[in-house]
Amino acid sequence: MAGIPGSGKSTFVAKAQSAGLFPRVAFVLNPDIVMVKLPEYQDLVRQKGPEKAFTILELPVRNLAYDLCTEAIKIKSDIIKDMGSARQENYDMLKEVKESGYILKMYVILVETREAMRRCALRKGRYTPPRLISERNLSLKGLIPKYTELVDELHYLDNNDSTRPFGKL
């Protein structure tokens, strides 16, 4: 998956798994899902608010999720990378995964930055800094040409219109 926070990646993954487009049994790499399920995160949200909880746990949880993914790669599990793929380290990881024999299929979900910020502000229990959305948008635009050369399949989906979600481009 590739897309800025609030683009609908996790929603698409859930729908794609239910519909059989994605493997129903797979390791899903998504640090946000791990974070919100941690009792420590929920305690921090109650005590300090979602922004502080996110700031404290973002990096440790991301590292935990990547460690779990490394184990999934070792046993050749199907993997769904439900993350934005908007950082160079994401590209580097996918390049290594491909070199280890995986077939890479990427779905890029496009949404306007303002719409993504609106959606993120409405989320319950998950915090995403607005500046992060803008930063990831810029970074992703720079990485898409590299992904085009790396992946075996590349699909673009427009998710700006909630009445027609995930329209193929």
Specify the pTM: 0.90
Residue 1 lies in a domain: no
Separation CA 157–CA 169 (nearest Å) = 6
Return d(Cα 79, Cα 129) in angstroms, integer. Answer: 27
Helix ranges (H only) for the chain are 9-19, 31-37, 39-48, 50-74, 88-99, 113-122, 130-150
Of residues 1, 2, 6, 3, the one with CA closest to residue 116: 6
Q: Give me the percent of the chain exceeding a pLDDT of 90.
A: 89
* Structural domain contains residue 128: yes
pLDDT tens digits for range 15-44: 999 999 999 999 999 998 889 889 999 999
Residue 3 lies in a domain: no
| Local structure of 21: helix, strand or coil | coil
Number of domains making up the chain = 1
